[in-house]
Amino acid sequence: MSGSKSHLYEFGPFRLDPEQRCLVRDGCFVPLTPKAYELLLVLVRMSGRVVGKDELMKEVWPNTFVEEGNLTQHIFALRKALGESHNEPQYIETIPRRGYRFAAGVLDVRDTGTSYVFETHTEAQIITDIEQETAHERGVEQTDSSDGAAFEESSGQVTFETARGSTAPVFHLKHLIGAGKRWRKSSIIFLPPLIAVVAVFIFGLYRSFDQKNIKPAALFEVRQAVKITNTGNVTTSAISPDGKYIAYAIDDDGKQSLWLRQAAIASQSLIAAPAEVKYIGITFSTDGDYIFYVVYSKGRGTGLLYQVPVLGGDPRQLSADVGTPVTFSPDGKHIAFVRANQASGEDQLMVANADGTGERKLAVRKFPGYGWFPHSGPAWSPDGKVIACLAASVIDGVTNTSVIAVRVKDGAEETITTQNWEYIGQITWISDGSGLLMTARDHASAFYQIWLLSYPDGGVRSVTSDLNNYWNVSLSADSKILATVQRNQLYNIWLTPFDELNHATQVTSGASTYFSVSWTPDGKIVYDSAASGNADIWMMKDDGKGQKQLTADVGKNYASSVSADGRYIVFHSNRSGTYHVWRMNVDGSNPIQLTRGTNETLLPQVSPDSRWVIYQSNGNLWRVPIDGGEPVRLTDKQSARAVFSPDGKLIACWYWDTPGAEQPRLAIIHSEGGQPVRLFESPPAVTLPIFIFPPTIRWARDGRALEYIGNKHDVSNIWVQPLDGSPARQLTKWESDRIVSFAWSPGGKQLAVSRGFDQNDLVLINDLR
C-alpha cells in the first residue's frame, strides 16, 4: 500500500505532528497555544543550529511588530510544556546574545503506510513505535482543532478546552536497530516481518491488560477549565463533595467575606458578612452539610475555626488557635490541622474531633533544626491511615518544601517523594488514594502550577504548564472536578512627569509582572520582569522601546540597582542555589557574586559614590564593597529595604524596634551602622503594602524627605515624610491600582512606577481524567 507522505518529528518521548498541529507525549496530547506550537516547529525543523531571535520572530510573527519579551515568554512556555528547567536545558538551549538552538536529537519520520523513512540529525537509533489506542472503547470523543485548543464563550463563562486524545494505555515497543550507526537522510527501511511479529505481541499484551488496574494518578490530566468569576478579588475556595457548590472568599476594599455559589449556574449567597479578617482556609464536611473555615482577624496572631451550615445559619466558633485549613478523616468524625506554637517554637500537626474537642498532638517539627510544617494545610488520606503534610527546611540557605505522610496510628513520618519545591500552596488527595494534587512553584519558575504526586511511589509531574498562578486546590469526592483560584499579577511600568504626577503614561504592555525599577545615568530604565516566564532583569528606553533582556537561564533575578557611575547593576539571584547579591556590567556581562554563606542576602542598593552595596540578610542590614570583600553588619534589629541618602552619609530603612510589631517604622541610621537617629510613624489611615518585603523607600532629591508606598482603601500612592517631623503627605493622587516600586530619573523630571493589580478568579477544572 502506498500513500501520501507525512512528516512526524520525534525527540525524546515527544512526537510533533505538523499536519495535525499537535504535540504528543507518550500518547497524550500536550496543550500548546498556536504561537508556541509554531515556535516549537521552527526550532525542531532547524534543530542543531543556532536560530537568531530576529529570525524566530519573523518566522512566528510575520509582518507583525513584537517585542523580544514576547518571544522569551513563549520559549518559557515551551520549556515548561517539555518539562525542562532553565538550569538544565534538555531541548531548547539559549545561546547568549545570539538566539536559541534545539539541542535534542530529532528523528524525522515520513509515514507511507508499510514503508518507513527515518531521518536523523544525530547518531541514529531506529525505533519502531507500535501504538494501540482505545479511546473509542471508552467513549472519549476526539475533537479536531487546527490550533490544538478549542475556545468557547457562553453565559458569561470562558471555557478553555485542550485538544483531546486517548487517556487509555498507549503501548510502545521501542526496538533498537543498529544503535550507534549514522544513517543517511532518506534511508528507507522495510520492516513488515518485524512489524507483524511486534503487532501480535502487542495485541496479546493488550488483551491481557486489565484497565481496571490503571491508577487515576497515572492518567490524570486537565481536559477543561472554566473561569466562573470575573471580579478579580477571590482569595481562596473549596468545592463540595458532590461537586455542586463552591464556597469562596472575596476581598473588597480590605474586607473579606464568605460566599456560596452553585457550580452550574451563577447563583450565589452570602455566608459571612464583610469584615477585617483574612480567610486562610475553607473546607466542606464529608457529608457536604457544613462549611469549616479559618480566619485571622486584625491584631490577632492565631486563626479562628468556624463551622456554618451550608443551607444557612449562624457561624459557630470551634477553636481559637488553628493555623491552616482543616482536613477531615474519611468518616467525617475527626479533623486535622497545623498549629504554630509560639511559646515552644514548634509547628504541631493536631488531630481533634469534628466539633473541635479532644485535641491531640500527632507530630511536631521545630525550627530551625527540624524544619517546619508550612501553613497551607494537611490532607487526610482516603483510607484514613496517613495525613499528608507539607514539610519545609533550609538546606545550605535554600528553602525546600516537600510532601510527607504522617501515620495516624503513631505519628511517624514517611517519605513520599525526594522532590523539593520552593513553595507549595495546598495539597488534596485523589479519591482512590493513588496520588495527591497540589499547587507549587519550583526553584526555577516564577509561577505556581498544579502538580500531581503519585502515591506511594512518589512520581511527580506537572498537570498545568502555563503563565498563570494557581493557588489552592480542592477536589469533588469523585475527583472529576477541581476548584482553584487562578492568580495573575498584571503590573506594568508607567512614566509620569514631575509637574504632572497624576498623568501617567504606560510604557510596557502585556499580561506580566514588573517588579523593581531603577535608572541608568543616561536615562534608560532597568527593571525586573517575569515577561520571559522567569524573573529576569531587563533594560529599555524611557518610551518602552528597545527592551533588552540582561539575564537569562540563570535562576531568578530581582531587585536591580544601577551604580551612579553607570558601570554596574547589582541584584539578588538564586542562580547559585541560595539568594545572594550579584554584580554585573550594565550590559549584563561578567556577573560576579558579592555575598556568600548559607543565609539569603536580598534587596541590594548601591551608594552614591558607587563604592558600597547595602542589603538585608537574616533580618539585619549589611554593607559590602562593590568590588568584593568582607561584609559588615549595620543593624542588630529587624530592618529591611535600605537605601542611601543622596550624600551617602545616611541610610533609610524599615525598622521593627518592637519584636512582632505588625507594621514597621521608617528609620534613619548612619551609613556606618548603629541605632536609628530618627524614627517616623506611618499615618493611621495608611497601611504598608507588605508583599514579601516592605515597600520601596526613596530619598527626595534634596535629602530633606523620604518617599514610600502607602495604601489607602487598597489603592497605592506615594507618600512623603519630611525629616523635620511634620506629618506625612500624599504625593500622588491615583484612584486605582497598586504600586510595587518607583524611582526618579537622574534629573528628577520623570517618575517610573511599577503599577497594576492582581486578578484572582475562581476556576473550575472539569472532566478530569
CA distances from 728 to 658, 666, 731, 735 (A): 22, 11, 9, 19
Residues 6+ apart with CB under 8 A from 731: 501, 707, 717, 718, 719, 720
> Is the predicted pLDDT of residue 286 greater than 90, yes or no?
yes
Cell numbers placing 114: 508499510
- Measured CA to CA, the distance from residue 444 to residue 534 in angstroms comes to 8
- Measured CA to CA, the distance from residue 539 to residue 413 in angstroms comes to 48
Please give the residue that has the higher pLDDT: either 101 or 585: 585
Peptide bond into 521 cis (omega under 30): no
* DSSP state, residue 421: B
pLDDT in tens, 435-456: 999 999 887 777 888 999 999 9
Q: Which residues pair with 285 in a beta bridge?
A: none
At 152, the pLDDT band (50, 70, 90 cuts) reads very low
Cell numbers placing 12: 525524546
pLDDT of residue 409: 95
- Measured CA to CA, the distance from residue 246 to residue 260 in angstroms comes to 6
pLDDT of residue 769: 58
Residue type, 689: P
Let me know how long the chain is: 769
At 195, the pLDDT band (50, 70, 90 cuts) reads very low
Q: Over range 610-624, report the average pLDDT.
A: 95
pLDDT of residue 144: 34
CA proximity to 89, closest of 73, 76, 99 = 76
Give the percent of the chain with pLDDT over 70. Answer: 78
Cell numbers placing 156: 458569561
> Is the predicted pLDDT of residue 137 greater than 60, yes or no?
no
pLDDT in tens, 372-399: 777 789 999 999 999 999 988 876 667 7
Helix (H) or strand (E) holding 361: strand 360-366
Peptide bond into 456 cis (omega under 30): yes
Q: Over range 209-213, report the average pLDDT.
A: 38
pLDDT of residue 63: 67
Cell numbers placing 704: 530633606
Peptide bond into 695 cis (omega under 30): no
Residues 6+ apart with CB under 8 A from 424: 374, 376, 390, 401, 402, 403, 438, 439, 440
Residue type, 635: T
> Is the predicted pLDDT of residue 115 greater than 70, yes or no?
no
pLDDT of residue 248: 97
pLDDT of residue 568: 98
Q: What is the mean pLDDT of the chain?
A: 80
pLDDT of residue 159: 34
- Residue pointed to by grid coordinates 525586573: 528
pLDDT of residue 142: 34
Sign of CA dihedral 727, 729, 735, 739: negative
pLDDT of residue 3: 41
Please give the residue that has the higher pLDDT: either 190 or 531: 531
- Measured CA to CA, the distance from residue 728 to residue 709 in angstroms comes to 12
Q: Over range 249-256, report the average pLDDT.
A: 88
Q: In what order do the strands lie in the sheet with 6-11?
A: 28-30, 22-25, 14-17, 6-11, 107-111, 115-120, 187-190
Sign of CA dihedral 87, 90, 92, 97: positive
Domains and CATH numbers, the chain: 6-149+166-214 (1.10.10.10), 217-488+761-766 (2.120.10.30), 491-682 (2.120.10.30)
- Measured CA to CA, the distance from residue 289 to residue 60 in angstroms comes to 53
Please give the residue that has the higher pLDDT: either 171 or 557: 557
Cell numbers placing 584: 554585573
Sign of CA dihedral 499, 503, 504, 506: negative
pLDDT of residue 168: 29
CA proximity to 83, closest of 12, 33, 22 = 12
> Is the predicted pLDDT of residue 751 greater than 90, yes or no?
yes
Are 82 and 74 in contact by the 8 Å Cβ rule? The answer is: no
At 124, the pLDDT band (50, 70, 90 cuts) reads very low
Q: Can you spell out the DSSP letters for 475-497?
A: E-TTS--EEEEEEEEEEEEEEEE
CA proximity to 127, closest of 177, 77, 171, 93 = 177
Q: Which residues pair with 237 in a beta bridge?
A: 248
CA distances from 337 to 118, 292, 487, 611 (A): 57, 12, 25, 50
List the single range of 221-235, 604-618, 739-753 with lowest mean pLDDT.
221-235
pLDDT in tens, 11-58: 888 888 887 778 888 767 777 777 888 899 999 988 888 898 888 888
pLDDT of residue 338: 94
pLDDT of residue 645: 97
Q: Can you spell out the DSSP letters for 236-255?
A: EEEE-TTSSEEEEEEEETTE
pLDDT of residue 106: 84
What's the burial of 15, exposed, middle or buried (CB within 10 Å: 0-12/13-18/19+)? buried
Helix, coil or strand: residue 764: strand
pLDDT of residue 311: 86
Please give the residue that has the higher pLDDT: either 231 or 524: 524
- Measured CA to CA, the distance from residue 707 to residue 282 in angstroms comes to 39
Cell numbers placing 383: 483510607
> Is the predicted pLDDT of residue 564 greater than 80, yes or no?
yes
Please give the residue that has the higher pLDDT: either 92 or 684: 92
Q: Over range 332-340, report the average pLDDT.
A: 95
- Measured CA to CA, the distance from residue 118 to residue 186 in angstroms comes to 6
Helix, coil or strand: residue 82: helix
> Is the predicted pLDDT of residue 128 greater than 70, yes or no?
no
CA distances from 430 to 11, 382, 452, 762 (A): 32, 8, 10, 20
* DSSP state, residue 212: G
pLDDT in tens, 471-508: 889 999 999 999 999 988 788 899 999 989 888 999 98
Q: Over range 268-289, report the average pLDDT.
A: 94
Highest mean pLDDT: which of 179-183, 295-299, 370-374? 295-299
pLDDT of residue 660: 62
CA torsion angle 565 568 572 578 (round to 10): -140
- Measured CA to CA, the distance from residue 440 to residue 30 in angstroms comes to 20
Please give the residue that has the higher pLDDT: either 312 or 164: 312
Give the percent of the chain with pLDDT over 90. Answer: 47
Backbone phi and psi for residue 163, each to the nearest 5 degrees, phi listed first: -60, 135
CB burial of 497-532 (b: ≥16 within 10 Å; e: otherwise) equals eeeebeebeebbeeebbbbbbbbbeeebbbbbbbbb
pLDDT of residue 221: 63
pLDDT of residue 683: 65
CA 263 to mean position of chain CA atoms: 26
At 177, the pLDDT band (50, 70, 90 cuts) reads very low
- Residue pointed to by grid coordinates 514631575: 498
pLDDT of residue 600: 85
Peptide bond into 330 cis (omega under 30): no
At 150, the pLDDT band (50, 70, 90 cuts) reads very low
pLDDT in tens, 81-113: 888 755 567 888 888 777 888 888 888 775 443
Backbone phi and psi for residue 562, each to the nearest 5 degrees, phi listed first: -100, 135
- Measured CA to CA, the distance from residue 555 to residue 404 in angstroms comes to 26
- Residue pointed to by grid coordinates 536591580: 560
Backbone phi and psi for residue 88, each to the nearest 5 degrees, phi listed first: -130, 70
